[in-house]
Amino acid sequence: MQKGQFLIVIGSFVSFFSFSQKNIDFSKANFPNDPKGLKEAEKAISKGDDFYRQGNIKYKQALDFYIQANEFNPENAELNFKIGACYLSSYTRLKAIPFLEKAQKLNFNVDPQLHLMLGKAYHLNLQWDKAIYEYTKFFKSLLPNEQKELNEAIQKRITECKNGKLLVKEPDNVKIENVGSAINTIYPEYGAEISADESELIFTSKRNTSTGGAKDLLLNEYFEDIYISYKKDGKWEEAQNIGKPINDEKHNATAGLSLDGQTLYVYLDENDGDLFETHLDGDKWEKPVRIGGGVNTKYHESSVSLSYDGKILYFVSDRPGGIGDRDIYYCTKDVKGKWGEAVNMGSEINTPYGEDGVFAHPDGKTLYFSSQGFNSMGGYDIFKSTLGKDGKWSKPVNMGYPINTPEDDIFFVMSGSGKHGYYSSSREDSFGALDIYMISFMDAPKDSTTKSDSVKTEVSQTTLLKGIITDAQTGKPLEATIEVVDNQKNELIASFKSNSSTGKYLISLPSGKNYGIAVKAPDYLFHSENFDIPASSSYQEIEKNVVLNKVVVGSKIVLNNIFFDTGKSDLRPESTNELERLLQLMNELITLKIEISGHTDNIGNAEYNQGLSEARAKAVVEYLKKKGVETGRMVYKGYGFTQPVAENSTEKGRQLNRRTEFKILSK
């Protein structure tokens, strides 16, 4: 025998010997000098087995006893296998690998599920090729009838590994950070919901401060409660239990949040799982009520998201007749404000597997959700779909790695700016279990489908308009109705209310429309604003505090949504909603007498501007007259450029000076 051949044989012998480590049973023969230790170890195994036989929901309890026994004898294949299996069902799944590998070395026939368990463990640890090998090995070990039954499931896992190999080759340029100890604890935190401007965070936790302080005996974890935190000076304040009437002694979990943070959707473990809603009345949350219409059934409903205009409600259900295990549905609001029948979103969004964690972005055209289908790399992955001009949703694309992992990546929400996403994960820097993390997109988020088919997401194209509504005389906050109108279509898009205690409001205005904003409250003159936001506009936040005037003599307002062509006095069609709003005021207060005034900038001579401003004021009066308002209740005047409200040296100033006003002359 040649020297090289001899070394190969020796190497093979050493490799075989190291692979075939000796399995040591828990017996008196193996531990003759420590009967007491053996007895304690056997007792621990027995207690662990009692929990183990109850299924993975009890693996956490079993693990504590198995670890105790393993400290006495770490060379037992069956015990190492069970420890690995328990870890695979825990928040620290990656700890399973060394125990499963050792079980295999001690006895490769220790359990028929060994190759499957190893495949799962490698899969979760991004060891794609090893996982594929173990999955294939497990499949080949099955009987023909078992192969037929499990073929689809095993092939799906192998496909997920192949997807993962491609996705990790092109990681997204993101930064994933734990949101910190003000939010996260040693207990599980998940189900993060944020207001569109990231000023408010509401989430679910199973911690010892839950209402009632009791544990769910089936899960051996504290009951779920909902917590809330506010951002101050760029930092999250210490989270507080949101309290009653939202939380009670049972499970209470977040399911969704309106973009202004005024409406919270909650999941309650009733009727196999139903969705409820509660509204913030001042500084108090109302008692949650079951969402009506076609949302809830006798089946399981979870995860809900409201469209930016409040007219569409997206939610998840496992009701019969769907495409897969759990599907995404939607309901639309009718003219009476009631939710209609549920409509399945179809095969563009739903797959034969499970979907969950739906989130409609404030831009009005982007839907985020989690799915076990499409090109998931394992469990649930987060996907994105965009609503086209044809009214159809685009093919969902995987949000990529490291946002997605072989774990369940679910309940993802995105800020209005598109710069930050929030979700729950179990990572190395977690405080103990699931924690809430913030994803910062260092450039536009990348949507990965395959290595050769990846595109960049557009920057969020929406404007967040927010502020405080107050009384002009007292300065106190007001509850007011904010109406959003598409001026070009003369169509009411949405209607919201400001908070009665703080006067705060927040609305989303997707780019590509000319918006008329009207703020109304009983016994006050309405206030109007105009926002013409081109389709090319990127994300912006506009803070607009609104002061409302009482209906008293001398009060006046600018009609910001009255439009004329340059140099003309003909009312443009986009003025209709504003004119009708003024008409309504005149019809409600039938003794009201007003002055309509026209104003211009200083471009051109005084005589021309005087005539133009008067003609424009007259056009408004003529409109109201045709609608039935008595002529004697109205006068019109033109002031040209004699009453400027801003400098005429800039275009912005000149635009403010070109205006139509009305003033109350008498009541």
Q: Which CATH number does the domain housing residue 248 bear?
A: 2.120.10.30
Q: Which structural domain range is residue 272 located in?
A: 174-456
41-90 per-position pLDDT tens digit: 999 999 999 999 999 888 989 999 999 999 999 999 999 999 999 999 88
For tokens 């909650």, name the residue: 266
Q: How far apart are CA 575 and CA 565, in angstroms?
A: 11
For tokens 């499963």, name the residue: 100
Indicate if the pLDDT at residue 237 is higher than 50: yes
Indicate if the pLDDT at residue 13 is higher than 70: no
Instruction: Band the pLDDT of 103: cuts 50, 70, 90.
Output: very high
Q: Which CATH number does the domain housing residue 538 bear?
A: 2.60.40.2190
How many other CB atoms sit within 10 Å of the CB of residue 568?
Answer: 12
325-337 per-position pLDDT tens digit: 999 999 999 988 8
- Does 100 map to a domain? yes
% the chain with pLDDT above 70: 95
pLDDT of residue 593: 97
Taking residues 229-247, report their average pLDDT. Answer: 95
Structure tokens at 19: 């692979």
- Does 8 map to a domain? no
| Same domain as 528, residue 660 | no
| Same domain as 38, residue 106 | yes
Higher pLDDT, 236 or 9: 236
Spatial CB neighbours of 534, under 8 Å, sequence gap ≥ 6 = 511, 512
| Same domain as 293, residue 144 | no
Provide the whole-model pTM. 0.89
Instruction: Band the pLDDT of 444: cuts 50, 70, 90.
Output: low
483-516 per-position pLDDT tens digit: 999 999 999 999 999 999 999 999 999 999 999 9
Instruction: Band the pLDDT of 453: cuts 50, 70, 90.
Output: very low
Domain count for the chain: 4
Q: How far apart are CA 108 and CA 115, in angstroms?
A: 9
Taking residues 30-50, report their average pLDDT. Answer: 95
User: Which residues are bridge partners to 278 per DSSP?
Assistant: 264
pLDDT of residue 637: 97
498, 469 Cβ separation under 8 angstroms = yes
Indicate if the pLDDT at residue 7 is higher than 60: no
Instruction: Band the pLDDT of 269: cuts 50, 70, 90.
Output: confident
- Does 337 map to a domain? yes
Indicate if the pLDDT at residue 12 is higher than 60: no
265, 250 Cβ separation under 8 angstroms = no
| Same domain as 529, residue 626 | no
| Same domain as 503, residue 602 | no
pLDDT of residue 429: 86
Higher pLDDT, 215 or 632: 632
Q: Which among 409, 429, 456 is the end of a domain?
A: 456
Q: Which CATH number does the domain housing residue 595 bear?
A: 3.30.1330.60
Q: Which among 139, 169, 199 is the end of a domain?
A: 169
- Does 12 map to a domain? no
Indicate if the pLDDT at residue 199 is higher than 50: yes
273, 255 Cβ separation under 8 angstroms = no
- Does 5 map to a domain? no
pLDDT of residue 581: 95
174-197 per-position pLDDT tens digit: 999 999 999 999 999 999 999 999
CA angle 364, 407, 151 (to 5 degrees): 105
Indicate if the pLDDT at residue 452 is higher than 60: no
| Same domain as 628, residue 661 | yes
pLDDT of residue 446: 47
Q: In angstroms, what is the C-alpha Rg of the chain?
A: 32
- Does 596 map to a domain? yes
- The length of the chain is 667
On the 0-12 / 13-18 / 19+ scale of CB atoms within 10 A, 488 is: middle
Instruction: Band the pLDDT of 91: cuts 50, 70, 90.
Output: confident
Coil, helix or strand at residue 131: helix
pLDDT of residue 216: 86
pLDDT of residue 633: 96
Instruction: Look at residues 313, 166, 298, 285 and name the one whose alpha carbon lies nearest to residue 228.
Output: 285
| Same domain as 94, residue 112 | yes
Spatial CB neighbours of 5, under 8 Å, sequence gap ≥ 6 = none
- Does 53 map to a domain? yes
Instruction: Band the pLDDT of 292: cuts 50, 70, 90.
Output: very high
pLDDT of residue 92: 85
| Same domain as 159, residue 41 | yes
Spatial CB neighbours of 294, under 8 Å, sequence gap ≥ 6 = 329, 331, 339, 340, 341, 342
| Same domain as 472, residue 448 | no
pLDDT of residue 459: 65
How many other CB atoms sit within 10 Å of the CB of residue 138?
Answer: 21
118-177 per-position pLDDT tens digit: 999 999 999 999 999 999 999 999 999 999 999 999 999 999 999 999 999 999 999 999
% the chain with pLDDT above 90: 86
- Residue 475 φ/ψ, nearest 5 degrees: 75, 5
522-577 per-position pLDDT tens digit: 999 999 999 999 998 999 999 999 999 999 999 999 999 999 999 999 999 999 99
Q: Which among 456, 488, 519 is the end of a domain?
A: 456
Which pairs count as long-range contacts for 475-481, CB under 8 Å and 24+ apart, including other chains?
A: 476/503, 477/501, 477/502, 477/503, 477/504, 478/503, 478/521, 478/524, 478/548, 479/503, 479/521, 480/505, 480/519, 480/520, 480/521, 480/524, 480/546, 480/548, 481/519, 481/520, 481/521
74, 21 Cβ separation under 8 angstroms = no
463-488 per-position pLDDT tens digit: 999 999 999 999 999 999 999 999 99
Structure tokens at 534: 């081109």
Q: Which amino acid is at 297?
A: T
- Does 9 map to a domain? no
| Same domain as 649, residue 543 | no
Instruction: Band the pLDDT of 241: cuts 50, 70, 90.
Output: very high
Q: Which CATH number does the domain housing residue 120 bear?
A: 1.25.40.10
| Same domain as 629, residue 488 | no
| Same domain as 581, residue 441 | no
Indicate if the pLDDT at residue 5 is higher than 80: no
On the 0-12 / 13-18 / 19+ scale of CB atoms within 10 A, 340 is: middle
Indicate if the pLDDT at residue 664 is higher than 90: yes
